[in-house]
Structure 1
């Protein structure tokens, strides 16, 4: 923690120097080195404030950064779920995630800790320094609301991954009182998350923003997710189900441009970034950073303009794939989440891949499709929240409060209608059967979106791909690893180096 905060606290300053057009050649002869600007001299104009929030957004892309050979940070939250496996097994850290043998030195664990606290550090700089800038008040409030959202988003990952975590709310230096912090109780972390999100919700944000900046819909969606999580384990604040249902209903009732796309292909059409079903995404552009989901491509098969390439280090677990109903459009080749054949080199004759691969992030614009060459520029965003999840949050939370109501059933049915699946009549459900129907839909609809692991932890239940039912978390055997989940797996270990650097930190049980 100490090294991460100290290493990254001033990163925004170096980045922002590039955006200041007022520094001329003669300024480099001045006594003060412009590359070593301090917060008191940097945060003075609206341009500085805009550069500062841009740096927070940029740091959020840590999710897509690399994690060693043939691996990426996003695989951290997919590999242990049992929904994915690998056909290359080239990365030992990733293999340890698949086999549930990860530990405090696993690279993905270290990268997520560092990435999360980089976002928090940069957000803290914004929240500390931007209020004093003389600038348009509406734009200032928007920037502060965005920073609060992004800090809450980062802490929400941290508290679900590690439980009690350091709660840092101010910029840090070696003389800071909490430079060697202790782990704050989860309730305190959630308290900050709710405060940040409530203030962001009232900060004058637009409902949505096609440029990719945070809007009110994103804030309300994250609030609904937070409430749903707090209602489950380990906090077990069941009264939060009502809060989750109410907040999700606000998004549904005021949807505006938000909607379910008509086809699944529209979800990975880069021309539709930040529109329709997309509520909040990490922004990718070939000029800065291309879409980071390349490790889902088949190992060395010519499915794109690149010819034989790809790593296959994240592919669907075949048992999970088989758990989809054959009538489910999400299972249909090149229509839903999977593909088992594609056009040679992206545009040529159709050829068989031998097994299903993940199609959810395949960018036909960049990689090519039948008779249409790809652009070789993958500008597809990485979706974080989408409207389908809001419907499922509402269906689950409303059922927990009032049983399977018409509104909850309508929300579930909307998801299943698009999948071309029949939904049993409302009267055939009781609270338990409806609950499991929604859980199952979450596993199938939100697959490969870094959400299943958190469902497993908050529910203490895991989808059994063989029976279609749910097992207790502890003792559930992931078929791709043949290893049972243990009590310790409810939390990940803190990175060992962080504990060495910060003597006040303690390790999670079992590690």
Structure 2
């Protein structure tokens, strides 16, 4: 499947807003309400529900892919330097080798879809208060809109730095029709205030339908605080806030007993899965498994086997001896029964991501409705451990959280570490537990350190070569503003080095 760029051409999509009908409990029904008119649409609770549900569908853009193995969730991961791309993509290769440019289509996909989601969230926040409806439902819908606006701005500000901050619906007469970039120090307060508003909006503690919950709000807010405690803002007081928010999440979720539950259909939006992009065959599907299976080898019923994101051998070898996550068909796999003839075994010659192997589609029609996980319990546990360590050094509670993750991986518990040693142990656990979940690049941004997997230590990001021999350029801490956006809006400036 190819990216359809034509539907994303109009500026920031701040004027052309599409409401997507959905049931009251799920956002998977993508039926298009093409007769949407702002002045007459926000008149009932059902319209408000349908409109908010439609915002969730913009989450799909992270998993959009094409026949060359390009997809934003892969682009984000390739910036971290621990994956190769064996498919046909010139753009993926350019990212890995740090020679890409502002016309890379993935940069445009994320920018424009994020602003489209933000535009719809702004409209929901402006219009829903005026609808006559149950107050509790109204508050919940507004809470979801605030969460989603914060979610997309959080991605924008980390990926592009200073970005236009737009918080109200835009018309042809609006000064925000062609906005300037807002300093990131002014964007983060909006993200935080939106999440604080969502936290008191009456959202449920957990949610199994793919909608926002208090768990999702608090986990995202703890991540925001952790990020702002590091580079470039260095608001160290936010470590305590990160720990406090993450701690609220811990009682409401449980670690899976089987790693396979992270990527099967039966456990979607359950257990340790706090917030996912939800898919369903017949409604919305994705190419996650096709993109992450080995290149051109018959390991499932897929039309394409793209090999677009393959872990480096050095990263795989950086796990501790005996780590269950490295056992065959846990987080990784190196062979699989041949599709169409299970008596034969296909040997890959590398370790691929079983974490994203979707058995249901591989053994079925090849059509994947695997959910993509944005937030899960181990991230909240590790945020709590890292942030609390920065406040007061290793505490028994911090050890408890990281050691639960290690126990599941059949590793010995951590103990007796200094503050500096514990910090690096948590960073390493983030890399190994949250591997290839689009966390590593953002960790590099906030710490300015990379995981030197060959020497099993953390080193300066701008003077240490990764396992592919690439030393990170400072310009690669941010993505470039898409060239098309600069061409369309002369008030936009480009990031340094691009």
Q: Distance in 2 between matches of 1:291 and 1:423?
A: 38
Aligned to 2:339: 345
- 1:128-173: CA deviations, max 9, x gaps? 1121111222111111100100000000011111111100111112
Q: Distance in 2 between matches of 1:176 and 1:36?
A: 23
2:15 is aligned with 1:9:
yes
Aligned 1:104-183 pairs, distance under 5 A? 104-183=102-181
Contact persistence 1:6–1:173 (CA under 8 A): no
Q: Distance in 1 between matches of 2:13 and 2:384?
A: 41
Q: Distance in 1 between matches of 2:299 and 2:336?
A: 6
- 1:368-392: CA deviations, max 9, x gaps? 3xxxxx3644332100000011110
Aligned to 2:419: 431
- 1:423-482: CA deviations, max 9, x gaps? 232xx20000000000000011101101100000100000001111011111222322x2
Aligned to 2:442: 454
Contact persistence 1:67–1:108 (CA under 8 A): no
Aligned to 1:22: none
Displacement of 1:353: 2.1
Displacement of 1:291: 3.6
- 1:398-421: CA deviations, max 9, x gaps? 100010110111111111111111
Aligned to 1:50: 49
Q: Distance in 1 between matches of 2:396 and 2:402?
A: 10
Aligned to 2:464: 476
TM-score under structure 2 length normalisation: 0.93
Q: Distance in 2 between matches of 1:312 and 1:303?
A: 12
- 1:265-312: CA deviations, max 9, x gaps? 111121100000100000111112224312101112111134x84011
CA distance 1:171–1:3, shift in 2 (3 Å) = farther
Q: Aligned to 1:463, which of 429, 448, 451?
A: 451
Displacement of 1:491: 1.5
CA distance 1:44–1:315, shift in 2 (3 Å) = same
Q: Distance in 1 between matches of 2:124 and 2:42?
A: 9
CA distance 1:283–1:318, shift in 2 (3 Å) = same
Larger Rg: 1
Aligned to 1:418: 408
CA distance 1:108–1:99, shift in 2 (3 Å) = same
Contact persistence 2:334–2:348 (CA under 8 A): yes
Contact persistence 1:205–1:215 (CA under 8 A): yes
Aligned to 2:239: 241
Q: Distance in 1 between matches of 2:423 and 2:46?
A: 49
**SS at 1:484's partner residue?**
coil
Q: Distance in 2 between matches of 1:330 and 1:6?
A: 41
Q: Distance in 2 between matches of 1:346 and 1:414?
A: 40
192-201 vs 136-145, which moves further: 136-145
Aligned to 1:26: none
Structure 1: runs of 5+ lacking an equivalent: 20-33, 369-373
Equivalent residues, number: 480
Aligned to 1:31: none
Contact persistence 2:298–2:346 (CA under 8 A): no
Contact persistence 1:9–1:122 (CA under 8 A): no
Q: CA RMSD in A?
A: 1.9
Aligned to 1:38: 37
Aligned to 2:208: 210
Aligned to 1:94: 92
2:298 is aligned with 1:302:
yes
Q: Aligned to 1:378, which of 363, 368, 382?
A: 368
